[in-house]
Structure 1
Amino acid sequence: MTKKLLNPFAYINDVKLLIIGFIAHLFFIFIAYYFNYYFPDFISIQKTIINFSFLDILYQNSRNVIIACIILFICGRRINSKTRFIDICNVVLIARIPYYLILLTDFIPIVKEKMNLVTKSVQTNNLVVFQDSSVMVVIMIIAILALLVMVLMFYYLYIGFKTVTNLKTLKQKLGFILSVIIIIFITFVLSVLIPQTIF
């Protein structure tokens, strides 16, 4: 069981992984929509007061996932010509599951209350809320959790990519790192240049 958790890509059927990843993708998009979060780029989950529709959130996150899949697939094919697109999709979809877990903190009433205060304060440029020690404690906890889930996401991206492409050499590893940086850069630029709404 531990081996499957550490590297599901080596032990779980690719179709099952795709189903799990796709269901998680849709489920956490719904959670983001319900709690007023959105996905501007590949590594960001942000609270918002904008009333994005479910389709908007689906578009944002799917755009980021598709870009990641395409770039990692190109990188993977350069490393191993037998790399399959479905395997890269599985890597991206499964790797993002721990990343989504930060959304579940909104099920904790005090966290939801404090983070809503922070969001409204930042967007109205009223920073008095940051003088409240309880707000700062919640921010610190969320920041630590966000860092942990980000580390987990990148761990699964790496271990999954390594498994499906047979990644070995330092040059190949640097290529993977460069690909991830390109994904982050492109999705960030697109989040600035194009609308976050589908209509």
Structure 2
Amino acid sequence: MKQLYNPFELYSERQLLIFGLVMTLIGSFLGYSFNGRFDGIIDFHLLESVTFFEVVLDNFFNTVLLTTLLFMTGKLINSKTRFVDVLNASLIARIPFYILPFFNFNNVMYDVSNRTYDIMVAGSFNAISTPDIILLMLFSFVAIFTLIWFSVLLWNGFKVATNAKGIKNIILFIFTILVVEIVSKYIITTFN
């Protein structure tokens, strides 16, 4: 069970780095295959089509920004914080998001989202079909679960990398994540 929420205490930095990089490539391929973009560190959006380059660039920006800003925060907490440990935390923590593209097999989730949006704009909430509601609810629950899992993994990795303790460090961590989300959204929409 500890492997799922705190692998940072179980595996070497090299193992974590290799696994994180491989999973990032697999996640990028899944995003491309199922038309999903990771256009922010805690964002996943479905489109009619995407290019592999777009998805790889999304993951690149997300990883670089998350690692860089968390590393700077880590240095404030502990001057001995190592870049590779924060990079590993960033790579591993993003893995849960790579589950989400599977929901868009044959663009099903994209179509459901568009239908639901059109119905809501028209104000006919009772016209949403039961299968669409079930799929939207299932996707929502999984998305919330992946966000929680991401947060737990990232905090555990950051805590191991920086030896962070106490409420002050938790607040610094949360503030950094919010800043990274805003910056990543801006950079990804501007350059990609």
**Per-residue deviation, 1:120:** 4.1
* Residues 59-74 of structure 1: pairs in structure 2 closer than 5 A: 59-74=57-72
- In structure 2, how many angstroms separate the alpha carbons of the residues matched to 1:121 and 1:40? 22
**Per-residue deviation, 1:69:** 0.4
Could you tell me which residue of structure 1 aligns to residue 135 of structure 2?
A: 138
The number of aligned residues is 187
Could you tell me which residue of structure 2 aligns to residue 118 of structure 1?
A: 112
Could you tell me which residue of structure 1 aligns to residue 23 of structure 2?
A: 24
Could you tell me which residue of structure 2 aligns to residue 4 of structure 1?
A: 3
Partners of 1:36 and 1:48 within 8 A in 2: yes
| Unpaired runs of at least 5, structure 1 | none
- In structure 2, how many angstroms separate the alpha carbons of the residues matched to 1:6 and 1:37? 25
- Whichever residue aligns with residue 45 of structure 1, its letter is F
Identify which of 180, 185, 190 aligns with 1:188: 185
TM-score in terms of structure 2 length: 0.89
Partners of 2:40 and 2:181 within 8 A in 1: yes
Partners of 1:99 and 1:152 within 8 A in 2: no
**Per-residue deviation, 1:133:** 1.8
Deviation sequence 1:125-184 (CA, Å, 0-9, x none): 633796212101110111011001110000001111111110013212211111111111
- In structure 2, how many angstroms separate the alpha carbons of the residues matched to 1:179 and 1:90? 17
> Identical aligned pairs, as a percentage?
28
Could you tell me which residue of structure 1 aligns to residue 145 of structure 2?
A: 148
| Unpaired runs of at least 5, structure 2 | none
- Whichever residue aligns with residue 3 of structure 2, its letter is K
> 3-state SS of the aligned residue for 1:93?
helix
